[in-house]
Copies of this chain bind each other. A is one copy, B any other.
Amino acid sequence: MSRFFVDPADYKPDFMVLTGENAVHAKVLRLKNGEEVTVCDGAGRECVCVVSDVSNDQISLVVKAQQAALSEASVKVSVYMAFSKGDKFEHVIQKATELGAYEIVAFPSGRCVSKPDEKSLKKKLDRWQKIAASAAEQSGRGIIPAVVVLNSYKEALQRAAQADLGILFYENEQATTLRMALDAAHFETISLLTGPEGGLESREVEQASLAGLRVCTLGKRILRCETAPLCALSAVMYHCGEF
């Protein structure tokens, strides 16, 4: 069943109208009167609707039944990824959304490619949020993960440390495994930080430790910067009983 996200203010109990990009998407899907779709407000509410009218720029829906939004994980996982080259961050946004991330956060670090400038950043954020929205629709999420961009490494550490458990992955860490960190904590929110192509500097790892993050290994193999966050997210979801 097709899935549409509407603004919480537009989420009504009996009757709803899809406009803008939702209407465009509905047209692409060639929805017809009588077909059923799912509508979510991205904040936990979800219902099944029947298409009652299709016009050029809007789709009218009659709400058939409210339903529990079942697809959200019990743990809120924030995926923090250092700025990287090419479309790697876009790849991670799409996959992390499928895998159930609560939010995806980009941050600068010493060996990063430079952060996009203010002007191109606004455009990119727009694009990134759309990738998250599209992946959320396709994977049946109850929310669209927020894509967040931070201005400094320090800000990333402070923000990540506010979760019940904050973990930074470092390829030179050998003693502490992810399992040790997860087993030792009770958490409803967790932050997972991974570095850029060139890795994190040892100074940055010390800063993370001082900020209250656990420094963990993801195993003996060297993972690419776009593989590490998805591997960690999959393992955390598994650990928390999601599958």
Contact = CB atoms under 8 A, between A and B. Distances in A.
A71 interface: yes
A224 interface: yes
Contact of A227 (B99, B221, B224): B99
Contacts of A149: none
Q: Which 7 A-B pairs have the closest CB atoms?
A: A234-B234, A219-B243, A235-B238, A231-B234, A219-B242, A71-B220, A139-B221
Contact of A243 (B98, B177, B237, B243): B177
B70 A220 contact: yes
A174 to B, nearest CB: 11
A221 B178 contact: no
Contact of A95 (B216, B227, B235, B243): B227
10 contacts: A70-B220, A98-B227, A100-B219, A177-B241, A179-B238, A179-B243, A218-B243, A235-B243, A238-B238, A238-B239
A217 B243 CA distance: 6
B234 A230 contact: yes
Given A177-B241, A220-B242, 14 more contacts: A70-B220, A98-B222, A98-B224, A100-B221, A138-B224, A139-B221, A139-B222, A139-B224, A177-B243, A216-B243, A219-B242, A231-B237, A234-B235, A238-B238
